[in-house]
Chain A
């Protein structure tokens, strides 16, 4: 037990929370503008893959990061075109983007590196205190997104698009443009989260390496009441559970089965969503379109 509560555990929790924070912030942008985004998972995966592929092609990890983020934004553009312009069912479209991300990345791994499981090793982003430089960036992004949403004209208008699309249209806000911007922004952030997993925390890509983190981030968005600070707390909860599980496995004599402990955040989320659902019902215009008349 002496070896359990160490600095190691703290850094582990921060590292596990980082990809969730990026993706959750992206989810907040998209959902605040009124677009449901269950494509976060796929967008992260695209970001993770193309960050490695980009680094492999250019030999420069920063260019790799840029390529990863841009490709995630391209994926987000598909989600935007189908959800906003075509007015498709946003959950159905998100599911399609997720499937495409899974299939495309696995297909490309095979055709680039000739292996079925993952990529070659590439270089990774610089580290500070044993943690990737993207870890502090994730935490800096939280107040930035909060400031953007609550203190800037752009952010307030974006929220209007999600809260009351009809009124936003009447007030002369071009909600299509705001929603496109928000979904592209969610692609950027989810891409950063994905790139963190591949070239931040590690230096390679493996199939389905996001492993459901995009969905967990979405849960954090809702658990956090569509608020950047609330989502941060929820991400830390999920990150802590993951960190504690790994730490528990490597700590002899750890009292509770760590395999059982990891179920806790899911149960907490279920209870919280059930109890606070009325108070936290999210943007009123989520998934709705303004009828153009």
Chain B
């Protein structure tokens, strides 16, 4: 199998991502300038809010944890050739299930309770990832539409459960959320006097494991092969269907862990509202070139943007400008790929010209 060359384990195109981020920040500055705000002051506030001081750095890491995990989920589904818009639904399902287990007060010690609740969250997300994978593999149902439907189904089902089923579930209708997760099921705090919980360690660990799976195992090779060419991989004896389903289950589990970290680490319960991380996860995966190590860095970048965003209010700039910048980053990457393709187009034209001569 070694003869077949797939994309290597190294981070290619990292320069392109950095240029794209720079372009997006410049465009963001332009929008701020046009609206009469001071982009320099806003970016300084963003920087301070994300990196200066113990509290800022811990907030950046807090925001990065779910984004890295969700970005990893997007990355593995992309590697298998699927566009997983369902990260959002997989994340909230995982967060909800983990919070239910954590709120039930099973009377277990932390060493057992925390892993159990995390596992429950991963499982919840995995189930929500399995459906689109299975429907795609078995019936050819397009994953974009099934995952969008499953996102709304998750939101609506959870809303129903937290509002109406307090008879059988540990939920609190007045909060439109689950009950509080008991202390024994909460993720440990890493740094005193901050909210920094162990979620970031889980995210980093998951990235390393996923790197190993993708680039060092047979299954990882299969995932990358089916993503590149369904036909060629079938010719090479790789089962497309089961590979796609398992990749989606892993993607869902990673997104579920992201949600579990939010419930068990940050909030201490699951709110029925959707955090919108699913779409940021897409940007995280794209900027990180769907490479687990790249996703760590892009997750940290987007975490910093989200953590520093509110600080921009002091410069009279709405924190939502961060979303605008995220959109610009994606467009810039897509535009840079056009530039990337130019040399090959040029050489093809040159070849044709010389052949015609």
Q: Chain B residues with Cβ under 8 A from A86's Cβ?
A: 334-335, 337-338
Give A100-138 interface residues, CB cut-off 8 Å to B.
Answer: 100-104, 106-111, 116
Smallest Cβ distance from B164 to chain A, in angstroms?
A: 5
A212 within 8 A of B: yes
Task: Name, among B160, B283, B322, B325, the residue most crowded by chain A CB atoms within 10 Å (CB to CB).
Answer: B160
Smallest Cβ distance from A123 to chain B, in angstroms?
A: 25
Cβ contact within 8 Å between A110 and B144: no
How far does the alpha carbon of A119 sit from the alpha carbon of B159 in the complex, in Å? 28
Cβ contact within 8 Å between A102 and B160: no
How far does the alpha carbon of A95 sit from the alpha carbon of B330 in the complex, in Å? 8
How far does the alpha carbon of A221 sit from the alpha carbon of B334 in the complex, in Å? 26
Give B156-201 interface residues, CB cut-off 8 Å to A.
Answer: 156-157, 159-160, 163-164
Cβ contact within 8 Å between B152 and A274: no
Smallest Cβ distance from B133 to chain A, in angstroms?
A: 13
How far does the alpha carbon of A270 sit from the alpha carbon of B163 in the complex, in Å? 24
B21 within 8 A of A: no
B321 within 8 A of A: yes
Q: Does more than half of chain A's interface fall in helix, strand or loop, or is it mixed? A: helix
Neighbour of B325 across the interface among A82, A91, A103, A110, CB < 8 A: A103
Smallest Cβ distance from A93 to chain B, in angstroms?
A: 6
Given contacts A103-B324, A277-B141, contact A266 B153 (CB under 8 A): yes
Residue-by-residue, is A255-267 near B (CB-CB < 8 Å gives 1, otherwise 0)?
A: 0010110110011
Cβ contact within 8 Å between A107 and B149: no
Residue-by-residue, is B114-145 near A (CB-CB < 8 Å gives 1, otherwise 0)?
A: 00000000000000000100010001111011
Q: Does more than half of chain B's interface fall in helix, strand or loop, or is it mixed? A: helix
Q: Chain B residues with Cβ under 8 A from A88's Cβ?
A: 334-335, 337-338
Neighbour of A82 across the interface among B37, B141, B153, B331, CB < 8 A: B331
Q: Chain A residues with Cβ under 8 A from B135's Cβ?
A: 270, 273-274
Smallest Cβ distance from B34 to chain A, in angstroms?
A: 10
Q: Chain A residues with Cβ under 8 A from B35's Cβ?
A: 107-108, 111
B97 within 8 A of A: no
Cβ contact within 8 Å between B318 and A106: yes
Smallest Cβ distance from A223 to chain B, in angstroms?
A: 9
A76 within 8 A of B: no
Cβ contact within 8 Å between B320 and A259: no
Smallest Cβ distance from A266 to chain B, in angstroms?
A: 4
Smallest Cβ distance from A4 to chain B, in angstroms?
A: 19
Q: How large is the interface on A (under 10, 10 to 19, 20 to 34, 35 or more residues)?
A: 35 or more
Q: Chain A residues with Cβ under 8 A from B322's Cβ?
A: 103
Cβ contact within 8 Å between B279 and A99: yes
A278 within 8 A of B: yes
A215 within 8 A of B: yes
Q: Chain A residues with Cβ under 8 A from B146's Cβ?
A: 270, 273
Cβ contact within 8 Å between A222 and B145: yes
Smallest Cβ distance from A228 to chain B, in angstroms?
A: 18
Smallest Cβ distance from A75 to chain B, in angstroms?
A: 11
How far does the alpha carbon of A187 sit from the alpha carbon of B214 in the complex, in Å? 40
Cβ contact within 8 Å between B145 and A218: yes
Cβ contact within 8 Å between B164 and A257: yes
Given contacts A91-B83, A212-B152, A218-B148, contact A106 B320 (CB under 8 A): yes
- A-B complex: 8 closest residue pairs judged by Cβ atoms: A103-B324, A103-B323, A106-B320, A100-B327, A99-B327, A110-B318, A96-B330, A88-B334
26 contacts between A and B (CB under 8 A): A78-B331, A88-B337, A92-B334, A96-B327, A96-B331, A100-B323, A102-B323, A102-B324, A106-B320, A107-B318, A107-B321, A110-B318, A110-B320, A116-B318, A207-B320, A216-B152, A218-B145, A260-B164, A269-B149, A270-B150, A273-B145, A273-B149, A274-B135, A274-B141, A275-B139, A277-B142
